[in-house]
Structure 1
């Protein structure tokens, strides 16, 4: 997970005075705007909860108003601080940290509405299957469906949908990559319905490879309402269970090559259209990856002793990186014999004292489900379960490292794009693969 503070904005108090606020982006998408003192309040609460000696140092306070250069220095320091926080798995799993982010998102958008985390219980999906699914933000363009991102634990579905441009929807999709898990999910009628609905849509939009005869068989099964038989046939088809991205470009086999990429079955699938109209494809099982804004690069063994970096340029580069990390975690979980966590095993305790930008505070409970942060000065607000699943829980073994200072300045004064290198793939050996 990549946190950044790419810019600031000048905001005005009700009394007319101004202050500098910092825009936090998560995985390349704007999340919230906060003040220095709000982050300092979060730091103090994390110190009490986790111990100050294990947290990164918080940027010191200045006594006098900041000059433009000092403001930029503070932005870089705060960005480094929150990035270091996000590298600590205890912080990502911490309810105070997640409660702060969802409260800050609510305050930034000043929106009402419920968190709607309990969608799985509303549709009566069993607890043991809840973490096999997640909420996704998708965009519909003509006949295509573009998956924008998976909602994180600290995101309000209502706000996330409202603050983006275009026709976006929140959908419930499966959140695993091992096709064998289908068998467990399909034993439950609600799980079967969810998989069936998603598969029908994937077939209709061409994400699953079919021919006329297969299409005829699938249509006949669909007309009869034979969902399990439909799924059994679909699961045997090529690209079943793959998430298809928008067409983009890569540097393989040559620079600026148009490519259609799908993620599934623990690999990235590349399809390249040749000059003669034929389509060539290759499957990449990634060993190491890094993400730089709109680019995803991964290291691949082309041949014996020939390791190369393949670079993909796409607005969905962060999503691709997150999919790869999910595949790795799934393999590690399976290798260690661990089972997927259920909501009943999650324990929330205590509360968060959330400081608003105007300096007032509200007490946010962390052990109930309910509404979002009230904006009317109320003293207590339950936030409860913040989304369907916690990415942090599923990436507990991943180590996302930054190899250089974030937003370092180029010689022309522009910010250098930050790099997040994912070394999770380094801890996998051939024995980890099926």
Structure 2
């Protein structure tokens, strides 16, 4: 997740006194508005709990009223502080930090704690209505949905809630995975738009875990409806013969066989992103990026209109970063003034091992850059669990909260989606460039500075080399 404090506001409290508010943005969207004293209080709590050694530097108090230049300096320092805390594996995942952000989000949006009904969508468009509190965090809402669907506790961790924006063309944009530091009801209410919805989707990448999910009736239905939905929206490529086989299995109600056949298809389990821009293999190339199978897949349109495809394995990424910058909206003038509105430009850049001795930065300019980063991080986490000999099931069970929700008397089942439409005859199969790798060595970075423009070489060849160990990176 990308934390930034791009702006400040002068506000008045209940006594009429003015103060400077620092607007904390997550993924380029306002999450909460806090005072310096609130962040100082959080800092003191962190120091008391974890000690001075692990706590990043915090901007000092000032005796006199801050000048505009000092406010700007403090804003930059607080932004770096929030980014440093979030990136720390202990502090960033601590309940102290997350609960601070949840309370600040609720206070900023001025939504009181009360019982409400929240609609959660399944992949087939079905709505599940759950009764929650406005102050319930993401884990609480996920538990409530699982309870309503009668999904077993041991499978809840295989799914996550995603914020999705419906587009006018019938498609959808996955904005982000809802995090532990936010309140889903507050997050979607604060957007003030009916275009957004919260969707339940599987949260793992390795298809081997499908077997665990398919052993349960509800889990099977959820996975089946997601698979059909991904095929219908073109995320999974299907030729005519494969489509015939899938439709036959669907008509027979053979859901497990349907999923097993789908697992053999290209891009099964991938999340596809909206068209965006990349600097690889050339600057300014239009690209459709997909995340899945421990890689970012590029389907690039070159300046000469030639189409190329390639894949970047996470095991060959030395590191990556998300950067944001303010882009003025000129309102029709050549020289926009400081009062002009600004859009947030987001970029994901990763350093990739093109060959054994050559690293190169590849940049993607996309409003979904942070969602891409979240996908990369979750792939890495999954690989590291497997590399250590651990089990994703045990890992997810550790994250379960103590206690369980009471099951509702009226359980809601997952409906089967309609039969598949015919595949798009104009959709061509393309060859993916990737091979197996044995290394895992990477780390995610976050920065508020703009990324450097680095041109890529020609998009050709096989970038993967067998037997590369961590020392080679």
TM over 0.5, shorter chain: yes
Are positions 1:145 and 2:197 aligned together? no
Deviation sequence 1:172-204 (CA, Å, 0-9, x none): 111111111111221122221111111111011
Q: Which residue of 1 aligns with 2:33?
A: 33
Once the two structures are TM-superposed, the CA of residue 266 in structure 1 deviates from its matched residue by 0.5
Task: Give the structure 1 partner of residue 198 of structure 2.
Answer: 170
Q: Does 1:155 align with 2:172?
A: no
Kept after mapping to 2: 8 A contact 1:98/1:153: yes
Three-state SS of the structure 2 residue aligned to 1:90 is: coil
Shift of 1:52: 3.6
Q: Per-residue CA shift, 1:178-235, capped at 9, x if unaligned?
A: 1111112211222211111111110110000012332233233333332212111111
- Partner in structure 2 of residue 393 of structure 1: none
Establish whether residue 127 from structure 1 lines up as the match of residue 153 from structure 2.
yes
Q: Deviations over 1:45-75 (max 9, x none)?
A: 2233223443123322212221111111111
Partner residue in 2 for 1:77: 77
2: CA distance between counterparts of 1:59 and 1:275? 48
Q: CA RMSD in A?
A: 2.8
Structure 1 residue 342: Cα displacement = 5.9
Matches within 5 A, 1:19-418: 19-112=19-112, 113=116, 114=133, 115=136, 116-118=141-143, 119-141=145-167, 142-164=169-191, 166=193, 167-273=195-301, 279-286=307-314, 287-288=317-318, 289-293=320-324, 294-303=346-355, 305-340=357-392, 341=394, 345-346=398-399, 399-401=443-445, 416-417=449-450
1:22–1:276 CA distance, 2 compared to 1 (3 A)? closer
**Distance across 1 between alignment mates of 2:172 and 2:276:** 15
Unaligned runs of 5+ in 2: 117-132, 325-345, 406-440, 453-466
CA distance in 2, matches of 1:190, 1:430: 41
**Greater CA drift, 304-313 or 225-234:** 304-313
Equivalent-residue separation in structure 2 for 1:49 and 1:368 (angstroms): 29
Provide the C-alpha distance between the structure 1 equivalents of 2:310 and 2:451, rounded to a whole number of angstroms: 29
Which is further off, 8-17 or 202-211? 8-17
For residues 58 and 376 of structure 2, the distance between their equivalents in structure 1, rounded to whole angstroms, comes to 32
Q: 1:147 offset after TM fit, Å?
A: 0.3
Residues 267-315 of structure 1, C-alpha deviation per residue, up to 9 Å, x if partnerless?
1111124688764211111422222221112223334534322211111
Consecutive unaligned residues in structure 1, runs of 5 or more = 350-366, 370-396, 408-415, 420-428
Please give the secondary structure, in 2, of the residue aligned with 1:91: coil
What's the TM-score once normalised by structure 2's chain length? 0.72
Q: Does the 8 Å contact 2:321/2:445 carry over to 1?
A: no
Change in 2 beyond 3 A, CA 1:296/1:31: same
Q: TM-score, normalised by structure 1?
A: 0.78
2-structure distance, mates of 1:336, 1:222:
38
1:418 Cα deviation (Å)?
Answer: 7.8
Paired residues in the alignment total 370
Cα deviation for residue 347 of structure 1 reads 8.4
The CA deviation at 1:109 is: 0.9
- Go from structure 1 to structure 2 and tell me whether the alpha carbon gap of 1:162 and 1:207 turns closer, same or farther (over 3 Å shift): same
Distance 1:34 1:418, change over 3 A: farther
Secondary structure in 2 aligned to 1:180? Answer: helix
